[in-house]
Amino acid sequence: MAERVEVLLSEEEVNARIRQIGEQISRDYEGKELHLVCILKGASFFTCELAKRITVPVSLDFMSVSSYGASSESSGVVKIVKDLDEPLEGKHVLVVEDIVDTGRTLDYLLSLMRSRGAEDVKLCALLDKPDRRVVDVKADYTGFQIPDEFVVGYGLDYAQRYRNLPYIGVVKFD
Ligand code: IMP
Ligand code: MG
């Protein structure tokens, strides 16, 4: 079975949108310091590009999680594989995620961050698949709303591959 990737959002479109979000975040957090929490591995490319476009002082931390159960459908039971290095007390936290799908992972993560004494916790997601939502999670900043298709690239993987694509694509089998 041949596998190919069809472009859904080009490199130019993605980069232009990230630049816009960076400008918006810079305006919204004017006069404050921002603590970006990147959810590994998927959000790594997005976090780097976004952080470069933010003009207020930024600190960065990383968390790696895996959800129990079938890999294509998250269960909402989240295992922390690598926890944050820095405390969140008093910080303006912006969680950066690759995609909001069912919302289960983020629902768990956002409550966890809020329980750790952050001043405020917001969410920035590159992609949003609203048709798939099971738990009510809304991103404060969203790159693109996309249809219910399995996408790869810009950090997103299919069996750990394709993360390095500079665009967002859909895997096709033919
Ligand atoms: P949720 O808990 O269902 O919202 O799961 C979100 C996680 O599932 C994301 O962080 C991704 O790792 C993964 N995921 C969901 N949809 C896709 C997709 O289309 N491509 C690649 N990974 C996806
Ligand atoms: Mg992920």
Q: What is the percent of the chain with per-residue pLDDT over 70, rounded to a whole number? A: 95
Residue 110, CB-side half-sphere exposure with 13 Å CA sphere = 22
Which residues surround ligand 1 with Cβ inside 6 Å?
42, 74, 97-106, 150-152, 156
Residue 149 Cα to ligand 1 midpoint, Å, equals 11
**pLDDT band (50, 70, 90) for residue 71:** low
Residue 76 Cα to ligand 1 midpoint, Å, equals 11
CA of residue 121 relative to chain centroid, distance: 14
pTM over 0.75: yes
Residue range 99-150, pLDDT digits in tens:
999 999 999 999 999 999 999 999 999 999 999 999 999 999 999 999 999 9
Residue 104 Cα to ligand 2 midpoint, Å, equals 11
Q: Which ligand has its closest atom nearest to the C-alpha of 104?
A: 1
Residue 88 has pLDDT above 80, yes or no: yes
Residue 74 has pLDDT above 70, yes or no: no
Residue 110: φ, ψ to 5°: -65, -40
Separation between Cα atoms, residue 162 and residue 120, nearest integer Å: 34
Ligand 1 pocket test: pick from 98, 102, 126, 129 the residue with the most ligand atoms within 8 Å of its Cβ: 98
- Position 67 scores a pLDDT of 75
Ligand 1: which atom is nearest the Cα of residue 156?
A: 21
- How high does pLDDT run on average in the chain? 94
Q: Name residue, tokens 């996309």.
A: 146
Cα angle value 83/87/90 (rounded, 5°): 140
